[in-house]
Structure 1
């Protein structure tokens, strides 16, 4: 306090003491004002109590701001132009600064008939507004499931007093993986995985203002189990188009295709669909044969798989589905007709065979069977001697009746030679050796031939 203020206050105090004959009774003084203010606003301190005709002194942190008595006002040099004391019971400080924070005190000394003294104190704090809140990821890397830990750091350019964290708009869940450090300015997450993905908001506040900012945390998965599928599985040159589908069990973000290890050639027949997950080839031919590789990647990992595409020439016997169906139906009908035809032929053959069995069988003359009647067919003789066919003797047949029909026979000469069957047109004469011992085995050599007559 400069010497001028000191001398003035001393003079006023001595004047009060002389007029009142000493210190008066105590005066009840109260200061009313918000306890927290923002920089740039006005500090308005009001005294509750009668301060007319009194010496009033305002101080902050024991530094005098202003002293006034009725219309006489003395302002400290540091507050000139900022203090408004037009009313004795009010102090206004414009454009408050953080340095204006502190303990404010007002002292009152009255010089009227109710002389007395009084004082009151008031704590005031001035805050900067919260501005420019930022949240950064430390270290600034692509976080994967293999990252041991990640830190989210929050700060404000001005006004930062209290720091509060939210995940997706809600308070952080109780989880041992979350740790708050540095007065809650830093949120540490240990062993992150995809369940920690989300929007993390840092709220910075003080008693007079607040602000916030948000950062998105994305924990990347490792790319695993890449597969490539072909549709249709078999491709011919007349196939309209073929599609190669690529997918990954986890971590798939970017899909890139290679043919035989090189980027796909510029060709209108190649079309990439579904975020490059599908490679479509229109009107494929053998020039498109080769190994197609799908590379699946993200910022932290990559993997791939390969499939071989073979475009086959159109088969010569290739038929449409309708033609194949027609062939099948025709084959079945043809088979049925063939079976019916075979059955018909078998029936006809059996019928013809039955008719033939009812007719006599004419045997051609052979050495063993030189024509003529079989001895089993002889039933009887007529107009001649009747002989048994089994009788081992030469015999003459005139008229022979066959079982099946009547035959007109010519003349038969019985040869006397034994075991002769080679005389055509005659009934054979047989002399079997096993019958030589029978009584009738000797036949007279003077047998005369007989002539057969028609029956």
Structure 2
């Protein structure tokens, strides 16, 4: 059997590699690692087939095609195919090593030679996009927000989005480290919201899960006021309680914490922890609220709270109670409190480990 390719054709091609030239379109052409790409010529199928089509990668031969068939080089067997009618080349199972300059030479039946070059860039797709925050809970005018966006893939471009709108740099907003780091100094209440990071490259795009930022304003109470905070967990065995001020444990151990004739030294963040021997635990960040026209809206895990059969809101939405809670009730609960004096947010994390128990959260301001 006579090999129809090498004995009869000696093809000498000279390429001057640019981004795109000759019978190939302008480049560069982008493709993803593991994917495939079609390097199409600008030729239409002639009435009489081309005599020879040859493709090369740099100084390496990819393959030769004649009307009788094609001869693909060893390094490209099983992943390169030449379409003889147009002279196009299809490459599959791409790797980063396939990035570079490709050349094609076509000898038509009328003689002569036509050639072209194009640059191929093979990229790793974008994946594993996450936001890494320093903290998501800040105090207005007192803290700065810093979010970093992490992702796999190359090359990467970053876009920060808040509540569906693109974030741009300003006096308070800084986007640095090639767009990966978002910083907002002296946060305000309107900086509160849902932040996402959108990462893209020439072959793919991915978006992070949202990071919900909460900005608290300080609640002011007049000196000499009386304030009562109640934390209850109806469970079997009975719950025990611990109170904290600014993270430091207080001596009070009951379900009710009373502050009488308050003074400036008692300012801070109060929290309550309830637990029992079945290790039902939940923590409440307790900002007491009062004022005319008071309204309350409950949320769970950044969405409006949908009451299930074991939940109940009563006392003008001041109390959210659970009966026979299950692990499905685990999550982050938020009560948005609005009055004529402003607004506050009360939030707590609920973790259920006991089999059956009732839980109540109560806000009382006197």
Q: Aligned equivalents of 1:303 and 1:167: distance in 2?
A: 26
Q: Is residue 183 from structure 1 mapped to residue 178 from structure 2 by the alignment? A: yes
Q: 1:94 pairs with 92, 95, 100, which one?
A: 92
**1:44 to partner: Cα distance:** 1.9
Tell me how far 1:68 sits from its aligned partner.
2.7
CA distance in structure 2 between the partners assigned to 1:149 and 1:118 by the alignment: 62
Q: What is the match of residue 55 of structure 2?
A: 58
In 1, Cα distance between equivalents of 2:199 and 2:156: 7
State the distance in 2 between where 1:229 and 1:150 align.
33
Other-structure match for 2:311: none
2:199 paired residue number: 204
CA–CA distance in structure 1, aligned partners of residues 207 and 121 of structure 2: 22
- Residue 73 of structure 1: aligned partner: 70
CA contact (8 A) 2:22 2:117 kept: no
CA gap of 1:39–1:303, structure 2 versus 1, over 3 A, is: closer
Larger Rg: 1
Deviation at 1:127, TM superposition (A): 3.0
> Is it true that 1:162 corresponds to 2:152 in the alignment?
no
User: What residue number does 2:269 align with?
Assistant: 297
Structure 2 residue aligned with 1:215: 211
TM-score (norm 1): 0.43
Deviation at 1:165, TM superposition (A): 1.1
Partners of 1:203 and 1:87 in 2: CA distance: 41
**In structure 2, which of residues 253, 258, 262 is the aligned counterpart of residue 263 of structure 1?**
253
Q: Secondary structure at the match of 2:24?
A: strand
Q: Of 120, 125, 145, which residue of structure 2 is paired with 1:124?
A: 120
Within 2, Cα distance between the matches of 1:38 and 1:221?
Answer: 47
Q: Which structure 1 segments of 5+ residues have no match?
A: 1-7, 17-27, 231-243, 248-254, 266-271, 280-289, 305-455
- 8 Å contact 1:151–1:188 — kept in the other structure? yes
Residues 164 and 202, structure 1, Cα contact 8 Å, conserved in 2 = yes
Higher helix share: 1
CA distance in 1: counterparts of 2:94 and 2:199, whole angstroms: 22
Secondary structure of the 1:12 match is: coil
SS, match of residue 97 in structure 2: helix
TM-score, length-normalised on structure 2? 0.52
Other-structure match for 1:31 = 24
Instruction: Sort the Cα spacing of 1:142 and 1:257 in 2 relative to 1 into closer, same or farther, 3 A.
Output: closer
The equivalent of 1:439 in structure 2 is: none
Contact 2:136–2:212, Cα closer than 8 Å, also in 1: no
Aligned to 2:40: 46
Q: What is the CA deviation profile of residues 168-212 of structure 1, one whole-angstrom value per residue up to 9, with x for unaligned ones? A: 111226630111111111112223343322222211112332111
Q: Deviations over 1:119-157 (max 9, x none)?
A: 0122333333321111111x4585445756442111212
Relative contact order: is structure 1 or structure 2 higher (C-alpha 8 Å, sep ≥ 6)? Answer: 2
Alpha carbons 1:223, 1:298 under 8 Å: kept: no
* Distance in 2 (alpha carbons) for counterparts of 1:82 and 1:201: 38
**1:220/1:298 contact within 8 Å kept:** no
Q: Structure 1 CA distance, aligned partners of 2:180 and 2:203? A: 19
Q: CA RMSD in A?
A: 4.4
Count of residue pairs the alignment pairs up: 240
What residue in structure 1 maps to residue 80 of structure 2? 83
